[in-house]
Amino acid sequence: MKHISPIQVAADAPARAPTRRALAKQQTRQKVLAAARRLFSEQGYEGATIRDIAAAAGMSTGAVFANFTDKSDLFREIMTDDMEALLAAMRDAAVRGRNAEDGVLKAFMAGYTFYKSRLQLARAAFSVSWDKDGGPSLRGLPSSLSFQDVFTDLLNAAVERGELSQEAEVKLRAQMLFDTYLSNFPQAIFEGWSLDALQARARDQIRILLAGARRG
C-alpha cells in the first residue's frame, strides 16, 4: 500500500482532511485501545489499571486521560467496536440460515467464532455486566441492545413466511435465545469447549426454545 503522509493528505484536501494533530491524536487513541484490550484480556477489568495501560502503550497516564475519561470509558469503546463488528457478522449469518432454527444457530456460531480468539475479553465483559456501576452502562449501549433484535428480526421473518405461528411470542423467545447464547460462554471460557461442542449444545437448546412456536 502506498504510504500517504498526513501532510500530503492535508495538501490534497485542505477543507476536509484531518490535521496532523488530529491524526496524531487518533494514533494515540489506537495505541491506548490496543494496550487496554491486551491488559483487560490478561488481567480482567478490575485488575487492569490506567497506569498499567499507559505504560503498555508507552505513554503517560495524563496522555491516556486526555483521550478517555476513565477506565470504563476505555472499556466501553473497546466493547462497542467489537459488538458492532459482531452484530454485522451475526446479521449476515442469520440470513444464511435454511430456516429459523438454522438461522438462529448460525447467529450463535458467528458469536462463538468471533469470540474464540478473545474469550478473556468476553470474560471481562461478563464480569462488568453484573457490576453495580458498570453493568447498566455496558448493557445499555446501543450495540448491546441490538443483539436481541437479530433474533427478533429472524423470528418475525419466520412468522411472516408461515414457518412459525402467529402466536410465537417473538419478544420473549428472542430474549431467551439471546440469554441462552450468552449463557454458553462460561463453557467456552472456563472449560475450553470447542466450537463443535458449543454447536451441538446450541442446536438442542434452540430446538427446545422454538418447539412451541412451530405451526400446526
Partner 1 sequence: MTTDVGPPPARPGALRQSQKEATRQRVLDAARELFDTNGYQGTTIREIARLAQVSVGSVFTTFASKGEILSEVMQARLDPLYAELDRVVPHLRGSTADRLRTMFAIHFEFEARQVRLFLSHIAAAYDWTLSPEAKPFGRNLRFPQIIRGILQGGVERGDVRPDVDLQEVLVLLVAAYAWTYRLVVTSDADAKAMIAVMDRQIGLIAEGFAPRA
Helices (H) and strands (E) in the chain, counts: 12, 0
The distance of closest approach from Cβ of residue 2 to partner 1 in the complex, given in angstroms and rounded to an integer, is 44
Residues 6+ positions from 173 with CB-CB distance below 8 Å: 151, 155, 209, 210, 213
For partner 1, the binding residue among 5, 7, 30, 46 (CB under 8 A) is 46
Q: Does 111 bind partner 1 (CB under 8 A)?
A: no
CA angle 199, 204, 209 (to 5 degrees): 120
134 belongs to the binding site for partner 1 (CB under 8 A): yes
164: β partners: 214
Is 183 a binding residue for partner 1 by CB under 8 A? The answer is yes
Binding mask 190-209 for partner 1 (x = CB under 8 A): -----------x--xx-xxx
Residue 22 near partner 1 by CB under 8 A = no
Candidates 20, 139, 161, 215: give the one binding partner 1 (CB under 8 A).
Answer: 139
Beta-carbon contacts of 103 under 8 Å, excluding residues fewer than 6 positions away, are 93, 94, 95, 96, 97, 154, 158
Answer for which of 10, 44, 50, 84 binds partner 1 (CB under 8 A) is 44
Question: Rounded to whole angstroms, how far apart are CA atoms 88 and 69?
Answer: 28
Q: Which residues, 141 to 170, sit near partner 1 by CB under 8 A?
A: 169
Placement of cell 429472524 in the chain: 154
State the nearest-atom distance from the C-beta of 92 to partner 1, in Å: 25
* The binder of partner 1 chosen from 47, 51, 81, 96 (CB under 8 A): 47
Cα gap 188→119, rounded to integer Å: 8
Q: ∠ CA 8-9-12 to the nearest 5 degrees?
A: 85
Applying CB under 8 A, does 215 fall inside the site for partner 1?
no
Q: Does position 140 bind partner 1 by CB under 8 A?
A: yes
15 binds partner 1 (CB under 8 A): no
Residue 71 in the binding site for partner 1 (CB under 8 A)? no
Q: Mark the segment that binds partner 1 (CB under 8 A) among 14-22, 84-92, 93-101, 183-191.
A: 183-191
Which amino acid makes up residue 36? A
135 in contact with partner 1 (CB under 8 A): yes
| CA distances to 53, 118, 197 from 190, in Å | 25, 13, 14
Binding-site ranges for partner 1 (CB under 8 A): 43-47, 123-124, 126-136, 139-140, 169, 172-173, 176, 179-180, 182-183, 186, 189, 201, 204-205, 207-213
